[in-house]
């Protein structure tokens, strides 16, 4: 199971927007899309980790007002994901990270080649593509 693989590799395993599935598979927590941010409050005590997505500076500032452990900011770099949207770029990403109190994880186009350019990130997030990092 993916949760067990993540535990062995000291990775945090989150399920997106489905707390029922997260509980069923033993995930560490739930990652919430910004549009569902109101739902996360009622699940706060059920999971040790909850994150909230952000795609703009305004969303990142708003995320700090919710009971989340971190924000996942995307898309940092160009991505093939159909939901990625326009990439922020390394400079804009660093600027936004410096302007928030939350730990911010970089998502979108993060590869072994681009990871170092996400300076200031608390860590990296991925939907796929962790194999180059040894995951």
pLDDT at residue 66 above 60?
yes
Running DSSP on this structure, what letter comes out for residue 61? H
pLDDT tens digits along 92-107: 999 999 999 999 999 9
Cα–Cα distance for residue pair 79/85, rounded to 1 Å:
8
Residue 132 has pLDDT above 60, yes or no: no
The b-or-e profile of 91-108 (16+ CB within 10 A means b, else e) is eebbebbeebebebbbbb
Asked if the model's pLDDT at residue 84 lies above 90, the reply is no
The pLDDT tens digits for 23-33 are: 999 999 999 99
Separation between Cα atoms, residue 84 and residue 57, nearest integer Å: 16
Q: How many CA atoms lie within 13 A of 57 on its CB side?
A: 7
**Which pLDDT belongs to residue 44?**
84
Decide if pLDDT at 135 tops 70: no
**pLDDT for residue 125 is more than 90:** no
pLDDT at 41: 86
pLDDT classification of 90: cutoffs 50, 70, 90: very high
Q: Give pLDDT, residue 3.
A: 86
């Amino acid at each position: 199971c993916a949760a067990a693989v993540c535990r062995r590799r000291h990775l945090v395993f989150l399920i997106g927007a489905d707390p029922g599935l997260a509980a069923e598979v033993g995930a560490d927590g739930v990652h919430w899309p910004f549009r569902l941010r109101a739902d996360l409050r009622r699940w706060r005590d059920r999971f040790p980790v909850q994150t909230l997505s952000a795609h703009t500076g305004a969303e990142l500032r708003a995320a700090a007002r919710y009971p989340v452990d971190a924000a996942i900011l995307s898309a940092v770099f160009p991505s093939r994901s159909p939901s990625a949207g326009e990439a922020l770029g390394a400079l804009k990403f660093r600027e936004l990270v410096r302007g928030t109190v939350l730990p911010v994880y970089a998502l979108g186009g993060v590869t072994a080649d681009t990871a170092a350019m996400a300076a200031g990130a608390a860590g990296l997030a991925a939907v796929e593509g962790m194999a180059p990092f040894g995951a």
